[in-house]
C-alpha cells in the first residue's frame, strides 16, 4: 500500500489520540479525529497546532483541510482505504462498540489498530463482524517523541495485516516490534520487576525509596529510578497496569501488586500530578529525601589480594589506584588482610557468605559499568564494622559514593536487573517476541541503558540463574523461580540467552 494515500481515522482525542493524529499528519496523511467530547476535540486541535508550530510549521497552512474533526465516525466519508487507530478509554465494552461502528462504517476492507495498553487484542476483536481486520498498535507516551510501536496480532488477525501495520509505523518514523497478544505485550510485561522488585526492597526496609532510586540511577545506569518514574506516570496508572497484568496471569506472584503502592493510591498520593506520591513536590521539585548518616571510613590496609577472575573487582581497585595481588581461584573476591572478604553479590546475604568463609564479609552490588558507577550499595555481615569501614574507604578512593543498605540477598541493582532479565528470558521461552525485538522494545520503550538480553550477555546467564536460585532458596517464593529458558541456557553452557546460541542443541 502507498502509505500516505491511506486515510487515517483516530478515534479518541485524549493524550494518545492527539499524539497519534499529529504523527500521521506529519507523515503526510489526511486525518479524521473523532471524539464524543467536543471540548476535548477543540483542545486536541489547538495542542496539535501549537506543537506543529514548533516542529513542522509548513503543515499549518493546510491543517484545516488535512485534519477533520467529528463527534462520530459516521460524520467522516466512508473511504474503504482507511486505517482506524482507536485510542478511546481502556474499557472493553466501549472499545467493542467503537470498533464495530468503525467496521460498519468503513467496511470490511478497513484496518483497525487498537492502542490498548492492557486489554487482550484477541478479546477486543472477538465478537466483531471482522476480527481478522483488528490488530494492536501500541504507542508510547508522548507519541511524537517515543520511537517504539508494539504491533500485536490477536489469534484471529489476518497475518498480512502485521506487515501492513509494521510498514505504516516505519513510514511514520517509528520502530515497530512484533509481540504475541499476551498481557503487557513486551514492554509492560518485562518492565514489571523494575517497579515490583524495587517496591519489595522498599517494603522490606532494605533501603528508603529515594536511596533505591539513587542506586538504580548511579549504579544501574538507568535514567530514572523506579519511584520517581511511578510518581511521574502516576501511581494509580502504574498500579492498574500491574494489577491488570497480575490478574491476566492468574495472580502469578511474579507480578503481584505492592501494598505500599496500594496505600499511596488509596490516600490520593498519585505522584507529580497530585503534588505528592512517594516524594512530595513543591513547584515540581521533589522535596522529601532521606539523608543517611555518612559511612565511617577506616584506612585501607596494604596487601589486598584479588582472588579469582573478576574484571569488575579489578576495575574498582584500578579506579582507586590500588594494585592487588592476583591469586587464581574459582570464585572472585577481595581479601583484605586481617579484616575479611569482599564480594560482588551473587544472591545470598553477607551473613550467609560469612558463615561459609568463616571471616567477616562485605558484599557490593553489581553495577552496569564499574568504570562509570557513581554510587554503590554494600551490606555487611554482623561482625564486619572494620571491614565495612575499609571498603567505604576503598570505594571513596575510587570516586564511588558508598551506600550501606540492609543485608538483603541480591542487593539492589543485581536483584532488580536479574528479575528483568528473567522476564525477558520467559518472553523468549513462550515465543512472545524475537530476541532482537525484546531488546529493541526495552531500549526504546523504557530507555533502559541496555536491553535485558544484552545485559544478560554482559553478566552471563550463569550469574543471573545463580542469583535467582539463591533468592528462591531464601524466600521460598515462586516469584523468584527462574525461567526454563535461562536454566536451559546455563545447562548448555551458553553465554547468551539469544536463540542462535541455544538452537544448536534445541
Q: Which residues of this protein are in contact with ligand NAI, per CB under 6 A?
A: 11-17, 34-37, 40, 87-90, 94, 98, 115-117, 139-141
Of the candidates 99, 131, 104, the one whose C-alpha atom is nearest the C-alpha of residue 114 is 99
CB of 12 to ligand NAI, least distance (A): 3
Cell digits for 152?
A: 500485536
DSSP 119-188: S-HHHHHTTSS-GGGEEEEEE-SSTTT--EEEEEE-TT--HHHHHHHHHHHHHTT-EEEE--S-TTTTHH
DSSP 171-212: HTT-EEEE--S-TTTTHHHHTHHHHHHHHHHHHTTSS-HHHH
By beta-carbon proximity to ligand NAI, the closer residue of 38 and 292 is 38
By beta-carbon proximity to ligand NAI, the closer residue of 42 and 311 is 42
CA distances from 216 to 68, 213, 227 (A): 45, 5, 10
Cell digits for 471?
A: 533468592
CB of 268 to ligand NAI, least distance (A): 19
Q: Which residue's Cβ has the minimum distance to ligand NAI? A: 14
CB of 251 to ligand NAI, least distance (A): 21
By beta-carbon proximity to ligand NAI, the closer residue of 40 and 156 is 40
By beta-carbon proximity to ligand NAI, the closer residue of 69 and 261 is 69
By beta-carbon proximity to ligand NAI, the closer residue of 120 and 483 is 120
By beta-carbon proximity to ligand NAI, the closer residue of 376 and 441 is 441
DSSP 320-379: TT--PEEE--SS-EEEETTTEEEEE--SS-HHHHHHHHTS-EEEE---S-TTT-SEEEEE
**Residues near 72 by beta carbon (within 8 Å), at least 6 away in sequence:** 34, 36, 101
**Residues near 488 by beta carbon (within 8 Å), at least 6 away in sequence:** 502
By beta-carbon proximity to ligand NAI, the closer residue of 117 and 483 is 117
Q: How many helices (H) and strands (E) are present in the chain, helices listed first?
A: 21, 17
Catalytic choice (188, 341, 379, 483): 188
Cell digits for 362?
A: 562485605
Beta strands 305-307 and 285-286, pairing class: unpaired
Q: How far apart are CA 50 and CA 106, in angstroms?
A: 31
By beta-carbon proximity to ligand NAI, the closer residue of 32 and 451 is 32
Asked whether 445 and 147 are in contact (CB, 8 A), the reply is no
User: Catalytic site residue 50?
Assistant: no
Q: How far apart are CA 350 and CA 378, in angstroms?
A: 9
DSSP state of 112: E
**Number of residues in the chain:** 506
User: Catalytic site residue 188?
Assistant: yes
CB of 78 to ligand NAI, least distance (A): 17
**Residues near 451 by beta carbon (within 8 Å), at least 6 away in sequence:** 424, 438, 439, 440, 442, 443
DSSP state of 296: P
CB of 35 to ligand NAI, least distance (A): 4
User: Catalytic site residue 117?
Assistant: yes
Asked whether 343 and 363 are in contact (CB, 8 A), the reply is yes
Catalytic choice (3, 30, 115, 117): 117
CB of 127 to ligand NAI, least distance (A): 17
User: Catalytic site residue 138?
Assistant: yes
By beta-carbon proximity to ligand NAI, the closer residue of 92 and 287 is 92
Between vectors from CA 280 to CA 277 and to CA 286, what angle results, nearest 5°? Answer: 110
CB of 239 to ligand NAI, least distance (A): 14
CB of 52 to ligand NAI, least distance (A): 19
CB of 40 to ligand NAI, least distance (A): 4
Catalytic choice (29, 105, 138, 307): 138
CB of 231 to ligand NAI, least distance (A): 15
By beta-carbon proximity to ligand NAI, the closer residue of 230 and 403 is 230
* Three-class SS state of 49: helix
Residues belonging to the active site: 117, 138, 150, 188
Amino acid at each position: 500500500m502507498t502509505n500516505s494515500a491511506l486515510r487515517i481515522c483516530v478515534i479518541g482525542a485524549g493524550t494518545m489520540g492527539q499524539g497519534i493524529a499529529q504523527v500521521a499528519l506529519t507523515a503526510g496523511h489526511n486525518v479524521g479525529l473523532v471524539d464524543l467530547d467536543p471540548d476535548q476535540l477543540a483542545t486536541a486541535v489547538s495542542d496539535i497546532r501549537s506543537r506543529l508550530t514548533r516542529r513542522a510549521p509548513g503543515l499549518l497552512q493546510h491543517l484545516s483541510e488535512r485534519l477533520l474533526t467529528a463527534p462520530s465516525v459516521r460524520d467522516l466519508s466512508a473511504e474503504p482505504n482507511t486505517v482506524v487507530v482507536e485510542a478511546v478509554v481502556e474499557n472493553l465494552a466501549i472499545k467493542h462498540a467503537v470498533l464495530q461502528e468503525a467496521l460498519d462504517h468503513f467496511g470490511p476492507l478497513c484496518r483497525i489498530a487498537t492502542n490498548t495498553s492492557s486489554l487482550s487484542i484477541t478479546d477486543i476483536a472477538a465478537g466483531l463482524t471482522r476480527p481478522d481486520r483488528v490488530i494492536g498498535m501500541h504507542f508510547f507516551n508522548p507519541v511524537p517523541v517515543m520511537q517504539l510501536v508494539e504491533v500485536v496480532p490477536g489469534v484471529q488477525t489476518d497475518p498480512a495485516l502485521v506487515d501492513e501495520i509494521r510498514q505504516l509505523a516505519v513510514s511514520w518514523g517509528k520502530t515497530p516490534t512484533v509481540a504475541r497478544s499476551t498481557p503487557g505485550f513486551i514492554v509492560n510485561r518485562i518492565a514489571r520487576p523494575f517497579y515490583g522488585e524495587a517496591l519489595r526492597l522498599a517494603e522490606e526496609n532494605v533501603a528508603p525509596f529515594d536511596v533505591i532510586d539513587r542506586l538504580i540511577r548511579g549504579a544501574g545506569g538507568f535514567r530514572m529510578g523506579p519511584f520517581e518514574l511511578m510518581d511521574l506516570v502516576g501511581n494509580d496508572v502504574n498500579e492498574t497496569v500491574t494489577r491488570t497484568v497480575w490478574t491476566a496471569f492468574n495472580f502469578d506472584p511474579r507480578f503481584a501488586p505492592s501494598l505500599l503502592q496500594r496505600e499511596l493510591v488509596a490516600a490520593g498520593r498519585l505522584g507529580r500530578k497530585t503534588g505528592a506520591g512517594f516524594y512530595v513536590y513543591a513547584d515540581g521539585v521533589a522535596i522529601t529525601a532521606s539523608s543517611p548518616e555518612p559511612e565511617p571510613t577506616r584506612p585501607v590496609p596494604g596487601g589486598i589480594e584479588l582472588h579469582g577472575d573478576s574484571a569488575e573487582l579489578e576495575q574498582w581497585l584500578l579506579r582507586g589506584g590500588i594494585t592487588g595481588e592476583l591469586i587464581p581461584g574459582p570464585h572472585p573476591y577481595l581479601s583484605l588482610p586481617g579484616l575479611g572478604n569482599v564480594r560482588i553479590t551473587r544472591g545470598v546475604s553477607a551473613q550467609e557468605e560469612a558463615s561459609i568463609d568463616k571471616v567477616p564479609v562485605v558484599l557490593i552490588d553489581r553495577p552496569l559499568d564499574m568504570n562509570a558507577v557513581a554510587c554503590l550499595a554494600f551490606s555487611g555481615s554482623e561482625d564486619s564494622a572494620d571491614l565495612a569501614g575499609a571498603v567505604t574507604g576503598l570505594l571513596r578512593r575510587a570516586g564511588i559514593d558508598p551506600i550501606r543498605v540492609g543485608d538483603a540477598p541480591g542487593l539492589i541493582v543485581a536483584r532488580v536487573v536479574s528479575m528483568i532479565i528473567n522476564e525477558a528470558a520467559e518472553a523468549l521461552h513462550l515465543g512472545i517476541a524475537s530476541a532482537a525485538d525484546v531488546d529493541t522494545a526495552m531500549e526504546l520503550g523504557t530507555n533502559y541503558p541496555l536491553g535485558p538480553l544484552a545485559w544478560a550477555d554482559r553478566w552471563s546467564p550463569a550469574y543471573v540463574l545463580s542469583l535467582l536460585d539463591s533468592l528462591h532458596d531464601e524466600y521460598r517464593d515462586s516469584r523468584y523461580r527462574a525461567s526454563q529458558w535461562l536454566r536451559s541456557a546455563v545447562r548448555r553452557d551458553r553465554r547468551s540467552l539469544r536463540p542462535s546460541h541455544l538452537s544448536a542443541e534445541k
